[in-house]
Amino acid sequence: MALSVIWSFLLSIYSANTGIEIWGVYKPVAWIILVSILFITSFMYTGPIFLLFLILPGIIFSLKAFLPNKSMNNRVKKELRIISAVGITALMILISMTANIKHERTEADFILRHENLGPARTALKKLIGQTPAPLSDLREIVLKGKNIHIVAIACEGIAAQGDSVQDVPLLLNAYEKNYGNDDDKKIESALSKLTGLVLPEGSPPEEWKRNWNLKADRGSYYSRSSQ
C-alpha cells in the first residue's frame, strides 16, 4: 500500500512539474481526492485492494522509460528511469518480504491482525471451507478475536467439525463475552449444534452453562453405570 501511494504520488508531482502526461496519473489535487476516496473505501469495506491499483501506472510507465522513445529527451528519460528503478527495486523487496511472511505466519495470525477488514473475512470463510478445517486456527480466532462478527463465523466453523468436550467451554466463553451484541445469535446457534441442546433463543450464558453441565453429568453417570 505504502509503495503504491508513494510511487503514484511521485509520478503525480513529476507530471505536474514537467507537463509530461503519464497514463493513470492525476495532477496533485485530483490525486489527493482520488487517494482519499480509496482510503475511505478500503478501510470501510474492501480492504486495501483498490489502493494497490495505484501501482499499475508506475509499473507500466517503468517499461516505457527503459524502452527506446524518441519523444523523450535524455534528461527526462534519466529522471524517469531513476524513479522507476527505485520503485521496481522496492517492489521486488516487498514481494520477497510478503512471501516470507506468508510462509511463516498462520492463517489465524493474518485474520486476527486484519479482523476489521474485508480480506480477513474472506480468508476466514476459505479457512472454514477446508476439509478438514484447521481447528487450531479457528480456536485461536475465537479465543483472541475482538471483532464479534469474525468470532461468530469462527464459532460456526468449530461447531461443524469441533470436539464438544474441548470446544463447548470455548464457545460458552465467547457467548458470554459477546452476549447482547449483534452476532451473538450465530454463536448461540453454534452452541446448540455442538452441544445438541435446544434452548429458547436468547437464553443467557448462565442457562447454557447450567444445561451443558447437567448433560455432561448425565453422560458421566451413564458411563459409570455401564461399567
112-121 pLDDT tens trace: 988 987 778 8
80-95 pLDDT tens trace: 888 888 888 998 999 8
pLDDT for the residue 145: 94
pLDDT for the residue 189: 94
pLDDT for the residue 15: 86
Supply the range of the domain harboring residue 117. Answer: 107-226
Cα 174 from chain centroid (whole Å): 21
For residues 164 and 100, membership in a common domain is answered with no
pLDDT for the residue 190: 94
Cα 74 from chain centroid (whole Å): 44
Last residue of a domain, one of 47, 82, 104: 104
What's the number of domains the chain is made of? 2
For residues 98 and 150, membership in a common domain is answered with no
Q: Which residue, 161, 121, 154, is CA-closest to 138? A: 154
For residues 154 and 60, membership in a common domain is answered with no
DSSP states along 105-137: S-HHHHHHHTTTSHHHHHHHHHHHHSSS--HHH
Last residue of a domain, one of 78, 104, 130: 104
For residues 64 and 125, membership in a common domain is answered with no
For the chain, residues with pLDDT lower than 70 are 43-47, 68-72, 219-227
